[in-house]
Amino acid sequence: MSLRSPLSRVLRSGSAKEGTEHWWMQRVTSVALLLLGGWFLVSVRGVVIFQEADLYAWVAYPVNAVMLLLLSVILAWHSMLGVQVVIEDYVHGPTIKVVSLTLSKFAHVFFGFAAVFAVLTVSLGGSA
């Protein structure tokens, strides 16, 4: 026997039992970002950023391209998780909360795909 009302079961409101997973994903992605961010800072240090050809050659190197792809995807995912928590905590109207969460997810997915597309375009020899 459940103490939840039939309406709350239908609307799936109440505890979703996903808080721990969300918390762990934030921690895992933050550790991954620390490692990938460190790699990025060390590796880009040797590139002369003001010369476009050098930057393209650096991105075209397969290890750098894969690491940049990982950095882009994990950064978008970590940001999406963090913005979700902020919206859930500070937006109080149910309609605006759902709209904000939906727009946030779409924006993060869009910018994640845009970053992946940019890295793949440059690394595979296309023009940026």
Q: Tell me the pLDDT tens digit for each residue of 112-123.
A: 999 999 999 999
pLDDT at 118: 94
Vertex 28 angle, CA 19 and 34, to 5°: 140
pTM equals 0.80
Quote the CA–CA distance of 86 and 78 in Å, as a whole number.
13
Q: List, for residues 37-92, the tens digit of each pLDDT value.
A: 999 999 888 776 667 888 888 899 999 999 999 999 999 999 999 999 999 999 99
